[in-house]
Structure 1
Amino acid sequence: MGKSFSTFDFGDLKLDEIDVDRSNMKEIEEELNIPISSEELNVVHMLNTEQRYAYDTIYRRVTKNERGSFFLDGPGGTGKTFLYKTLLANLRVKDIIAIVVASSGIAAANLPGGRTCNSRFKIPLDIEENQSSQISKQSSLAEL
């Protein structure tokens, strides 16, 4: 809002910058602390040709900070989760934040750090016409 802590008369009360940083980093710390499985890191060579193409394409775009939108589709048992886990582990080991969202809780539970879209982005289940975002601009989720 264009104001600083010193704008207001709080007497001798001091705001420690470390406290501000910690509160704004909660969501980011959680994402950076998702456990990385060594099995998922070391299985890139086990991806089939199509999985490897998707892995290489997405990995290259993310590590080069290039924009992209990807949609992986296939019947159950074709290795989508295997590919996702391998990709996530190899990105996260480089301290790259990869936010994992899914439309259902079951799908989200299958991936490390996975959450439903409405949970992660505070999307209400009943949306009204003039409703605005539930994410504060100053929150750790906005920073994430």
Structure 2
Amino acid sequence: MGRSFSSFDFGDLQLDNVYLRHSKTKEIKEELNIPISSEDINAVNLLNEEQRCAYDKIYRRVIENGTGSFVLDGPGGTGKTFLYTTLLVNLRARVLIYLAVASLGIAAANLAGGRTSNSRFKIPLDIENNKSSQISK
């Protein structure tokens, strides 16, 4: 929510780092354990001009805690997955957590740590009026 623990007046109460290390959810632990290689990080230098423009806009918006939605569109083989992978790796290298989701299993399988949105957010496949996502905070 954009606030740190220290911005609240809790008196002498301190965060216990041991507790924090062990209290991470399974999803957070999985995201933090996605391997990052220097080859993947340096892939940013292999982006073409259009990919680099998209990369720079999205990366800057994320790092500045900005809001927005981005849609990458193009025919197969134009490097959308390469761009997404490069973006995710460079954000994760900053020890930030980003969930890679896709609407199709094939697309999700092409991204490190990728899953379908139904799987990631526990969205029920049989939609009823009173059902909602079951993902925990």
Q: Which residue of 2 aligns with 1:72?
A: 72
The structure with higher relative contact order (CA 8 Å, sep 6+) is 1
Question: Over the residues paired in the alignment, what is the CA RMSD in angstroms?
Answer: 1.9
Q: TM-score, normalised by structure 1?
A: 0.77
User: 2 CA distance for matches of 1:119 and 1:93?
Assistant: 24
Q: Which residue of 2 aligns with 1:56?
A: 56
Percent same amino acid among aligned pairs?
Answer: 69
| Displacement of 1:132 | 3.0
Q: Which residue of 1 aligns with 2:102?
A: 102
CA separation of 1:20 and 1:41: change in aligned 2, threshold 3 A: closer
Unaligned runs of 5+ in 2: 1-16
User: 2 CA distance for matches of 1:33 and 1:98?
Assistant: 12
Correspondences of 1:1-144 after superposition (within 5 Å):
22-135=22-135, 139=136, 142=137
Q: TM-score, normalised by structure 2?
A: 0.80
Q: 2:56 corresponds to which letter in structure 1?
A: D
> Are 2:100 and 2:108, in contact at CA under 8 Å, matched by a contact in 1?
yes
User: 2 CA distance for matches of 1:61 and 1:20?
Assistant: 28
> Are 2:101 and 2:117, in contact at CA under 8 Å, matched by a contact in 1?
yes
Q: 1:85 corresponds to which letter in structure 2?
A: T
User: 1 CA distance for matches of 2:126 and 2:62?
Assistant: 33
Q: How many residues align?
A: 121
| Displacement of 1:22 | 2.6
Unaligned runs of 5+ in 1: 1-16
Q: 1:110 corresponds to which letter in structure 2?
A: N
Q: 1:92 corresponds to which letter in structure 2?
A: R
Q: What do residues 74-118 of structure 1 show as CA deviations (whole Å, max 9, x unaligned)?
A: 001111111111111111100111110001111000010000000
